[in-house]
């Protein structure tokens, strides 16, 4: 039985359009689900087609947490006579342990111990009671990074993932490229399996990608656009590279062994 052709994602579609516009060639969708490890698209050069594989930078820990939360649930129902809580968790927190242990930890906590934007471990100690230090330690150990009462939602503990700060990841563009392509190793595998003189990888950054990467892509009318000073360290299956962002006012970076780095127009937003 023939496999159903998978739906093309928006990022794959837009990547094809950007590559076609920059290279002035046709870029057609290729992956039809008829075989495993097919590249997303083919770039049609006069000398022959070249495979194109599209990937997005993402937070592995957050995705794992988010997938678990979607299966297990974002809320914990307790007793109607218990106060409601908003709880932010580390991405590495074990949600099953959290759901099993958190209600008991919160049950006897006086709500007035916690002020808006308080954090277990460094919250304002509003009451001279050593139990707070123990409660704070146990909450942190469970993975809680933020805790706030929700008086209007009695009997419900609402869970969420911790926030992220892209500037906390100091990696620069070139090693970031290597990190993404090492993590997404199937990109080079798909391209190598298809073969061809040119094998293009296209990386979308995200809002959670390192600030240095998104900053390099930024289009600023007041500054002279820059490009990296060194070539990327590409895995053996990849010969050409594209880096783009879905954020506004961002250019596109393109690297080829013939011409090195070039800047091109990104999304028209």
**Taking the domains of the chain in order of start, what are their residue ranges?**
10-59+166-264, 61-161
The pTM of the whole model exceeds 0.85: no
Assign 261 to helix, strand or coil: strand
Q: How far is it, in rounded angstroms, from Cα 71 to Cα 257?
A: 45
pLDDT < 70 positions in the chain: 1-5, 112-132, 163-168, 221-225, 269
d(CA 132, CA 122): 11
pLDDT over 70 percentage in the chain: 85
37 CA to centre of own chain: 22
What are 157-210's pLDDT values in tens digits?
999 887 665 556 778 999 999 999 999 999 999 999 999 999 999 999 987 788
User: Which residues make Cβ contacts (< 8 Å) with residue 76, sequence separation at least 6?
Assistant: 99, 102, 103, 156, 157, 159
Q: CA 64, CA 46: separation in Å to the nearest integer?
A: 43
Burial (CB count <10 Å: 0-12, 13-18, 19+), residue 251? buried
Backbone angles phi, psi at 176, to 5 degrees: -65, -40
């Amino acid at each position: 039985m023939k496999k159903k052709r998978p739906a093309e994602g928006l990022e794959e579609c837009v990547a094809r359009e950007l590559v076609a516009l920059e290279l002035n060639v046709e870029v057609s969708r290729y992956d039809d689900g008829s075989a495993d490890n097919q590249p997303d698209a083919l770039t049609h050069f006069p000398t022959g087609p070249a495979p194109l594989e599209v990937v997005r930078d993402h937070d592995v820990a957050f995705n794992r947490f988010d997938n678990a939360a979607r299966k297990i649930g974002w809320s914990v129902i307790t007793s109607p006579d218990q106060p409601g809580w908003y709880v932010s968790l580390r991405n590495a927190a074990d949600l099953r342990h959290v759901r099993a242990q958190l209600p008991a930890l919160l049950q006897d906590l006086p709500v007035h111990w916690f002020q808006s934007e308080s954090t277990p471990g460094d919250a304002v100690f509003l009451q001279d009671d050593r139990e707070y230090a123990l409660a704070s330690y146990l909450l942190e150990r469970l993975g809680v990074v933020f805790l706030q009462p929700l008086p209007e939602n009695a009997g419900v503990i609402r869970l969420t993932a911790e926030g992220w700060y892209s500037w906390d990841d100091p990696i620069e563009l070139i090693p970031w490229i290597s990190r993404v392509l090492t993590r997404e190793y199937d990109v080079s595998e798909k391209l190598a399996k298809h073969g061809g003189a040119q094998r293009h990888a296209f990386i979308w950054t995200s809002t959670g990608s390192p600030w240095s990467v998104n900053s390099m892509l930024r289009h600023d009318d007041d500054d002279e656009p820059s490009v990296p000073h060194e070539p990327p360290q590409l895995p053996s299956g990849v010969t050409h590279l594209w880096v783009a962002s879905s954020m506004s006012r961002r250019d596109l970076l393109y690297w080829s062994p013939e011409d090195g780095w070039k800047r091109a127009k990104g999304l028209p937003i």
